[in-house]
Each structure stands twice: as C-alpha cells, then as structure tokens.
Structure 1
Amino acid sequence: MKLSVVIPAYNEQESIPETLRTLYATLKKYDIPHEIWVTNDNSKDQTLNVLYELSREIPTLVFETNKGPNGFGYAVRYGLERFSGDCVAVFMADMSDDPEDLVKYYKTMLSENVDAVYGSRWVKGGKVIDYPPLKKFINRIANFIIKNMMGIKYNDTTNAFKLYKRETIEGIKPFLSPHFNLTVELPLKAIVRGYTYAVVPNSWTNRKYGESKLKIKEMGSRYFFILMYCWIEKHFSRGDYMKK
C-alpha cells in the first residue's frame, strides 16, 4: 500500500530540510512505498528554492506551489486533491510530528484494516515536548467540548497529524474548511459517516524555527462552525452521507 504524506509549507525554509530528510530516511528504513507531497503555500521566503534543492537528494519528493487562495486548510486540501497513494497522512513541515509515529500509523492501518488512524498525545504512551501552557489549556478545553458534543471517546481531534485511506478522503468530500479548522473537519466527518478508525499514542514537539501559523483568536468561531456542521450532519442528515 503506497503512502502519501501531504505537508503544507508556508515560509518554512529553516524547518523543512530536516523534516523532509528525516521523514524520507525513516520511510526508506522501513521500506514503505511512498511519496512526500509538499504544498508550497505561496511562501515569501526561500522555501521553494529549498524544495528544488532537496528534490535532488530525495527521489520521492513531489511539490507544487498553491497560487491561491492560500491558508493552512487550502494548502492541505491542495495536496489531498492531488496525492497518488492508497492512503494519505497530513504531516507538519516544522518537525513537530515524529516520522516513527507515522510508521506506527501505517502499520496499524495495515494490521487492523481500518479506514483511518488517529494519534493522541493525551493517552498512555503519548507525549508533548515544550508545549506552550496557554496553548495546551485551550487545546484540552476545545477537545473536551468536541468529545462531549459529538459523543465520541477520542480526545485529540484538533491535531492535524492523521492517516486516511484514499476511499475515506473521497468519502468525506467536499471539504469546507479553508483554515486550521480543516483539522477538525476531516476526522469528525469520517467518524460521523461511519468510517472505522484506530487510535494510537503519538508525540508532539514544539518547532525549533519560526513561529506557529495558528492564530487562536482568529480560529474560535471557525472551529465552532465546523463542529456545528458535523453535529448537524450526525443528527439530521438521515444517513445520506454514510459510508457505503
């Protein structure tokens, strides 16, 4: 089963070399057939030039520039419309996600034959490194609200780092979210529409370079919108969008 790894990148010239080299080396070590798909989200720094250089040493690297509209959600969606694998993971350019966890996701999908694999940083075996206290506080409140509103046991919906089969991605289209709320839309739609999933512990490490693109104050209403959309679909769609 070929794995695609979709990575949105905006002004990540400092982070992306280590991320891509480590990711490629890890997937190669485990002999996982794959492509690394990077969406350059119209970066204003040297990200595009760095990608050209890296493509000379990483044969599985594929990249394109998203001319616009831009934003995290659009960049991820750009890759999700174009990847070539049988399954696809969303992975961060800043090396906050661990490639070893991605291998664990992949092997879990194969062994358990589930439609998606979600990580959790907040179960036994999961961990966070250098997580900003305010961000952690908001994260736990947001996930508590999502968990209880949607009636699910999963406690890390907002983390983007997840793995989906191609059929799952096709089954949760069309995508609505142009921003970071896409991280909530993808897993909640999959759950509401009856796709199976496994949860495994994963780790998260704060970025070494640059600053986070997530602006919490701007995102509250957008997260709430997509949460309400998924809640309404769950309770009122009469199963019209369920997995066939």
Structure 2
Amino acid sequence: MKLSVVIPAYNEEESIAETLRSLHGTLAKYGIAHEICVTNDNSKDGTLRVLDELSLEIPELVYYTNPGPNGFGYAVRYGLERFTGDCAAVFMADLSDDPEDLVKFYNKMVEGDYDCVFGTRWSNGGRVIDYPKVKKIVNRVANFIVKMVMGIKYNDTTNAFKLYKRETIEGIKPFLAPHFNLTIELPLKAMVRGYNYAVVPNSWTNRKFGESKLKIKEMGGRYFFILMYCLIEKYFSQGDFKKKVANSSAKAVSR
C-alpha cells in the first residue's frame, strides 16, 4: 500500500530540509512505498528554493505552490486533492511529528485494515516536548469540549497528525475548513460517517526554527463552527453521508 505524506509549508525554509530528509530516510528504511507531497503555501522566504534543491535528492518528493487562497486548511486540502497513494497522512513541516510514529500509524492501518489512524499525545505512550504552557491549557480544554459535545472517547482531536485511506478522504468530502480547524473536521466527519479508526500514541516536539502559524485568538470561532457542523450532521443527516458498506459501525482501538 503506497503512503502519501501531505505536508503544508508556509515560510519553512529553516525546517523543511531536515523534515523531508528524516521522513524519507525513515520510510525508506522500513521499505514503505511512499510519496512526499508538499504544498508550498505561497511562502515569502526560501521554502520553494529548498524544495527545488531537495527534489534532486529525494525522487519521492512532489511539491506544488498554492497560489491562493492561503491558510493551513487550504494548503492541506490542496495536497489532499493531488496525492496519488492508497492512504494519506497529514504531517507538519516543522518536524514536530516523528517519522517513526508515522511508521506505527501505517503498520496499524495495514494490519487492522482501519479506515483511519489517529494519534494521541496525551495517553499512555504519548509525549510532548517543550509544549508551551498556555497552548497546553487551551488544547486540553478544547479537546475536552469536543469529547463532551460529540460523545467520543478520543482525547486529541486537534492533533493534525493523522492517517486516512484514500476511500476515507473521498468519503468525508467536501471539506469546509480553510484554517487549522481542518484538523478537527477530518476526524470528526470520519467518525460521524461511520469510518472505523484506531488510536495510536505519538510524540510531539516544539519547532526549533520559526514561529507557530496557529493563532489561538483567531481560531476559537472557527473551531466552534466546524464542531457545530459535525454535531448537526451526526444527529440530523439521517445517515445520508454514511460509509456505504454492509457493516459501517465505527470501532475505536487504543493501545
């Protein structure tokens, strides 16, 4: 099964080379057929130049420049419309995600034939390194609200690092979120629409270069909008968007 890794990149000149080399080296080490699909989100620094250079070094690298509209969600969506693999992972350009964890996600999906594999940084086996205190508080409160509103056990919905089969990506369209709220739209739609999933612990490390693109003050209303949309679909869509298989009940497995 070919793995596509979708990476949004905005002004990641200092981080992108280390990220892509580490990612490619790890996947090659385990013999995983893959492509690395980077969306340069109209960066103003040398990100595009670095991608040009790396394409000569990493044959599995494909990249696009999103002319606009721009934003994290738009950049991820741009990649999700163009990847060629059998499954696609959303992976961060700043190497906050660990390529070894991606291998665990991939193996879990293959072994259990799951539609999705979600990461959690806050359960046994998960860890965070240098996580900003205020951001952590906001994260835990936001994830608690999502759990209570949606009636789910999964505790890290806002974690962007997730893996989806191609059929799942097609089944949860159309996408609505233009910004970081896409991180909750994808998994919540998958749950509501009956796609099964596994939860695997993962690690998160704060970026070494640049600054986070997530602006907490700007995102509250946007997250709330997506949460309400998914809640309405869950209770009022009459199953119109459900996964079309004989047994479509979702199952969650943690380890």
Please indicate the TM-score interval, normalised by the length of the shorter structure: over 0.9
Taking the aligned partners of 1:70 and 1:145, their CA distance within structure 2 comes to 28
Partner-residue secondary structure (3-state), 2:242: coil
Q: TM-score, normalised by structure 1?
A: 1.00
Taking the aligned partners of 1:11 and 1:149, their CA distance within structure 2 comes to 35
Partner-residue secondary structure (3-state), 2:56: coil
The aligned residue for residue 184 of structure 1 is 184
Taking the aligned partners of 2:239 and 2:57, their CA distance within structure 1 comes to 47
1:143 aligns with 2:143: yes
Partner-residue secondary structure (3-state), 2:144: helix
The aligned residue for residue 57 of structure 2 is 57
Aligned-pair distance for 1:17? 0.5
Taking the aligned partners of 1:44 and 1:122, their CA distance within structure 2 comes to 34
Aligned-pair distance for 1:226? 0.1
Aligned-pair distance for 1:27? 0.2
Aligned residue identity for 2:43: S
1:10 aligns with 2:6: no
Taking the aligned partners of 1:64 and 1:238, their CA distance within structure 2 comes to 38
The aligned residue for residue 107 of structure 1 is 107
The aligned residue for residue 203 of structure 2 is 203
Taking the aligned partners of 1:159 and 1:200, their CA distance within structure 2 comes to 12
The aligned residue for residue 92 of structure 2 is 92
Identify unmatched segments of 5+ residues in structure 1.
none
Figure out how many residues of one structure are paired with residues of the other and give that number: 244
Partner-residue secondary structure (3-state), 2:64: strand
The aligned residue for residue 23 of structure 2 is 23
The aligned residue for residue 226 of structure 2 is 226
1:126 aligns with 2:126: yes
Partner-residue secondary structure (3-state), 1:209: coil
Q: Deviations over 1:1-22 (max 9, x none)?
A: 0000000000000000000000
Structure 1 runs (4+) greater than 4 angstroms displaced: none
Taking the aligned partners of 1:185 and 1:157, their CA distance within structure 2 comes to 9
Aligned-pair distance for 1:126? 0.2
Instruction: Among all aligned residue pairs of Structure 1 and Structure 2, give the percentage whose two residues are the same amino acid.
Output: 78
The aligned residue for residue 153 of structure 1 is 153
Aligned-pair distance for 1:216? 0.3
Aligned-pair distance for 1:72? 0.3
Q: CA RMSD in A?
A: 0.3
Identify unmatched segments of 5+ residues in structure 2.
245-255
The aligned residue for residue 170 of structure 2 is 170
Q: Deviations over 1:94-123 (max 9, x none)?
A: 000000000000000001111000010001
The aligned residue for residue 37 of structure 2 is 37
Aligned residue identity for 2:140: R
Partner-residue secondary structure (3-state), 1:39: strand
The aligned residue for residue 253 of structure 2 is none
Aligned-pair distance for 1:141? 0.2
Aligned residue identity for 1:28: A
